[in-house]
Structure 1
């Protein structure tokens, strides 16, 4: 540790937080960093420089260091998998769709040519035409047989890949997650140079990198501490896109290998803390730091209704967050068929409203004739989210039934609540309990559009009652960021074995989440 301000003669703990994104929109990481800085610690957040440049930026008393993470090992592994997916000669069917299409077109040309040649004057000799006709017939048969074989082989490979993707036994993260090797090579030297006293790893993809950095520091004779901040229940992650059961099993294997090496854990809900204790037989229950928002008044949010192109006469349900099938947006969209015409849905799309998934959702709403009632809008800065959402009437989360969804409390719920919005949520364990116990909204059956419409109607018909519950001072205090800071401070004081100073802000904000200008980082070490 380094000497510096604080209690007389006390050392200033050097805390390094690591996360595998570029930090910009990760409000949880930013809030925790600012909170730990107010405990008198020197805090550096290390994130991923997606633009390839090593830079630093200031966020209050926190330094954000962004480091490039080349994905060479992952890229090579991806290429190997692509090659393995292409059958070697002799080929069953076609090597590619392009080859199959070209063969069909050549056949089409030869048929047209033969038909035309039969009409030419002078006409080609009959034996020659007969031979060409026989050869054409044989070629057509070969194309049909190869195409049929290709369909069967493609179906077989799809089933094989599905079996592989859903196999959960015998999966090892070192083989399945080559990106972890890239992260270690890029971040390991950086962490060594920062000479941390506490290394705080956010999410499972930083767990192994942190564990090895701690081991190296202790081998050099340094007394360091290690915190693992579990954002998700890894073994129960939702399946979406490339995140198959096989990939989830690999992440679970990764967590299982390193989780016991953390000195303390932090997680996002009481239900998830209990689940982690049960799964890993932890000696200490993880500290619960619910991802409630802070109020950043430094930037004014744009108007949600203006961006959506609607007026104040529209009753508006909003969803804000990442869009995947597992988030259940199809349920919210389909529920509009059971609701009056003046009820609309605004979807705040993270990372933006031009992704492939958003385009598919838009196309579906147009086919169903409800495109004018579903509005896909871009997100805002993390500090503007609460203000941005205020113009809606209801906040929704129609998530599907995955174990990780069951035990977590998504930050969007508290962004809605701080914006003054009652909730309509699917009946996942943790979020349903929050809504029912506090009377701040309604719960509906997972993937049931009609039941979601019932819940939305119930809230809209009695908005004043639900809003009163949302604004209850005791409820808001219980789920304030100031209350979450108490839990984080208690953990750090226990971890470091001493009382830490506390510079509590005048309001409920943990400080502005706005960063200063990014500048080239000086050499480390």
Structure 2
């Protein structure tokens, strides 16, 4: 039955991220298309690296409900004079700036235009009174604008005791429905994704992350009400800590609301699969499908890759850090180590070079006198990543000891492996165990700059020893998308087989 349905079965892959940077979504779509399904990839643009034969529906999420609290903060007792809306604050501050400019122009006119003394004196008095009135009004507006900014800042990061108390009340009285109150931005995504997903009318929805899961389940319910059966596969990544208690409770409530409604669950590691089954009381252990690149011959980038982008000769040592530079990923350890590694250069391949945290890293590198050896490079298409990185000497993963880093091998780890790069990883559970077993790199104590320097130095002393680990035939084949996608496609076949 699955074989007869496969040619006509429609699969929708739903991503909440920018499609060009979502390697998981692109690989899932490519695998489903290669298996003969009709695939539609739904996510945020741009989408320039989409696999051949895959239809793309780009969505734009208008942050209306999610930003309402910021645009119209309630002043309350702490900010009683704050403007009631961002528009009112902007209007008033712009008006007072315009008045200041007009008064300055009037002063210049009084100095240039000749008038009889009595008229000049009267004009000067009126001018002084206008400035006095303006000063009082400007001071009042500055006070109200400052209170408005304070209210908005608190709304951006609601982490006070009062905020946490209100969050707990929502969790207590609303239960799993608390996400609607605590994170209305999820409803913005429903407005953007829901109609697009309904128009595709898929037979199977592959939802990446808990935010896409809710959209998928609701679309499936609407479709089934009209007589169209839809299977939902939830692709569950490791839970990343949220910035506030409010966001944590909202994410947990949303996930618990829809996790048990999925027809199947996929994740990226065995330990995480067991945790998900225990957390949500799933009837079966989730299918494991790690986010590994496809296996290719020895990679070689046509434009020279990361080393050429840094304008470095072949004999200059170069380490590379792939992915967003977040504090918990340990890029500061790399910067602090550069003064002790002499001629070593570090390349950060990042999605957004204007990230404020990157500015902090650049400032720190300048303080240490190593800014000339720090290179910030843009992302390349997902299928080119291993070849692009292959000209470096070391791939680094200096992540901190946090729960979401412990149970799984990062997709960046697999990218380094397919680039045949020796790796330096911190002593988080999964990556440290894999590195010590395979011998493809060194492990250091997370956050320990001196130990990081020791690990990098060990690899630079004898890099061939670590690259040899990838010569074993089974290693990269096991860590390849060709292998990892097999259980995913088997899951699709089971779900799309006997259908009601």
- Shorter-normalised TM range: 0.7 to 0.9
Pair 1:68-2:69 in alignment: no
Specify the SS of the correspondent of 2:323. strand
Q: Is contact 1:49–1:69 with CA below 8 Å preserved after alignment?
A: no
Rounded to whole Å, the distance in 2 between the matches of 1:260 and 1:436 is 37
Instruction: Give the alignment of 1:39-54 within 5 angstroms.
Output: 39-49=35-45
Partner of 2:366: 366
Residue 336 (structure 2) aligned to one of 317, 334, 337 = 334
Instruction: Give the alignment of 1:63-462 within 5 angstroms.
Output: 63-81=55-73, 87-89=79-81, 161-163=158-160, 169=168, 170-171=170-171, 172-231=178-237, 233-234=238-239, 237-239=240-242, 243-294=243-294, 300-339=302-341, 341-351=342-352, 353-462=353-462
Residue 16 (structure 1) aligned to one of 12, 16, 30 = 12
CA 482–49 in structure 1, closer or farther in 2 if over 3 Å, else same: closer
Rounded to whole Å, the distance in 2 between the matches of 1:306 and 1:10 is 44
Partner of 2:110: none
Pair 1:473-2:441 in alignment: no
Relative to structure 2, which stretch is displaced further, 392-401 or 64-73? Answer: 64-73
CA 89–26 in structure 1, closer or farther in 2 if over 3 Å, else same: closer
Q: Deviations over 1:472-501 (max 9, x none)?
A: 2111111111111211112112222379xx
Q: Is contact 1:320–1:350 with CA below 8 Å preserved after alignment?
A: no
Q: Is contact 1:48–1:67 with CA below 8 Å preserved after alignment?
A: yes
Rounded to whole Å, the distance in 1 between the matches of 2:488 and 2:215 is 22
CA 423–85 in structure 1, closer or farther in 2 if over 3 Å, else same: farther
Rounded to whole Å, the distance in 1 between the matches of 2:360 and 2:164 is 25
Partner of 1:520: none
- The alpha carbon displacement at 1:166 in A equals 6.7
Specify the SS of the correspondent of 1:65. strand
- The alpha carbon displacement at 1:10 in A equals 6.8
Q: Is contact 2:268–2:290 with CA below 8 Å preserved after alignment?
A: yes
The count of aligned residue pairs is 430
Rounded to whole Å, the distance in 2 between the matches of 1:479 and 1:183 is 34
- The alpha carbon displacement at 1:462 in A equals 2.6
More helix by share: 2
Q: Is contact 1:238–1:326 with CA below 8 Å preserved after alignment?
A: no
Q: Is contact 1:318–1:392 with CA below 8 Å preserved after alignment?
A: yes
Q: Is contact 1:20–1:206 with CA below 8 Å preserved after alignment?
A: yes
Specify the SS of the correspondent of 1:20. strand
CA 8–198 in structure 1, closer or farther in 2 if over 3 Å, else same: closer
Rounded to whole Å, the distance in 2 between the matches of 1:199 and 1:310 is 45
Rounded to whole Å, the distance in 2 between the matches of 1:310 and 1:7 is 52
CA 229–90 in structure 1, closer or farther in 2 if over 3 Å, else same: closer
Rounded to whole Å, the distance in 2 between the matches of 1:469 and 1:56 is 34
Please report the TM-score for the alignment, with normalisation by the length of structure 1.
Answer: 0.74
Rounded to whole Å, the distance in 2 between the matches of 1:349 and 1:497 is 41
RMSD: 3.4
CA 27–89 in structure 1, closer or farther in 2 if over 3 Å, else same: closer
Q: Is contact 1:409–1:430 with CA below 8 Å preserved after alignment?
A: yes
Partner of 1:509: none
Q: Deviations over 1:177-234 (max 9, x none)?
A: 2221111112212222211111111111111111111111122222221100112x22
CA 301–496 in structure 1, closer or farther in 2 if over 3 Å, else same: farther
Q: Deviations over 1:405-458 (max 9, x none)?
A: 112322111111111101111111221222122222111111111111121122
Q: Is contact 2:300–2:387 with CA below 8 Å preserved after alignment?
A: no
Rounded to whole Å, the distance in 1 between the matches of 2:385 and 2:77 is 43
Q: Is contact 2:20–2:45 with CA below 8 Å preserved after alignment?
A: no
Rounded to whole Å, the distance in 2 between the matches of 1:10 and 1:56 is 27
